[in-house]
Amino acid sequence: MQKDIATPIRTQEILKKYGFSFKKSLGQNFLIDPNILRNIVSHADLTKDSAAIEIGPGIGALTEHLARASGKVVAFEIDQRLLPVLEDTLSPYENVEIIHSDILEVDVKQIFQDKLADYKDVMVVANLPYYVTTPILLKLLMDRLPIRGMVVMMQKEVADRITASPGTKAYGSLSIAIQYYMKAEVAMVVPKAVFMPQPNVDSAVIKLTRHLIPPVNVIDEDFLFKVSRGSFVQRRKTIINNLQSSLPNGKEKKEIIIHSLEKVNINPTRRGETLSIEEFGRLADELYPHFH
């Protein structure tokens, strides 16, 4: 059995061997606890018929656990300095492919066709760079990739927002965008001490599982997200005030907005954070003909 990469001693050895220094701008925090890695991978329910997509493999700590559990791993690494490190640390695993690029700039659908066509079951499993967690998640969802779900580590505060329920402080347009596509749950909270260097914040792993049917059926998904984002522009304001200022010509169409809200049984004086996804869906459909 290959010695785990993710121990403090082995991580130090690898970094020293390559003279690697952490780049704050890339949000590099490497995991140094094999148990946590095994736990993350177990939440993904992988088999040798599954493929895994990883973002930011670092020195390959999580990658090797994914390689052991799945049929194929495709990992995106933006930092050129890590390519020779990964080539070395992952040399025992033939089912890993590292792509040197920024996931936000890649045509991921094309990569699916080129590299993952043989796999019906694909999961995203990653310790995401904290400064771009939200854009990465939204890109993977908006690209409508054929994935079963994701098991991803992020800042605990972002995990709380993604998994939040209506009426809570953490609930917002991000909760709605992600919960529209996926069932979201916190799988585990992760202490700072298992990272090198230690981040300033606590982390959490969330598990996202694709809905077979979205929680609400809407005319236009993008318009649903536009309405939900617009409803949270200023959290303390009522939904009518927020929609007036966020929808095109909203001030002139105030009566239409009020009428639409009332038609779907939403009191215009409620705040956005009290509305469920279903309510946002009904409201978006009611508003759609007037703003298109």
Known binding residue 56? Answer is yes
Known binding residue 29? Answer is yes
Tokens of 44: 């993904």
- In 231-267, which positions are buried (b, 16+ CB within 10 angstroms) versus exposed (e)? bbeeeebbbbbbbbebbeebeebbebbeebbeebebe
231-237 long-range contacts, CB within 8 A, separation 24+: 231/173, 231/272, 231/275, 231/280, 232/172, 232/173, 232/272, 232/273, 235/172, 235/271, 235/272, 235/273, 236/271, 237/271
Known binding residue 102? Answer is yes
Known binding residue 31? Answer is yes
Tokens of 23: 């780049």
Q: Can you count the helices (H) and strands (E) in the chain?
A: 12, 9
User: Given the DSSP bridges, would you call strands 182-190 and 203-210 parallel, antiparallel or unpaired?
Assistant: antiparallel
Any idea which residue has 């992760």 for tokens? 190
Known binding residue 143? Answer is no
Cα dihedral 114, 116, 122, 124 sign: negative
User: Which helix (H) or strand (E) segment is 133 a member of?
Assistant: helix 133-142
Known binding residue 220? Answer is no
Binding residues for S-adenosyl-L-methionine, as ranges, are 29, 31, 56, 77, 102, 127
Binding residues, as ranges, are 29, 31, 56, 77, 102, 127
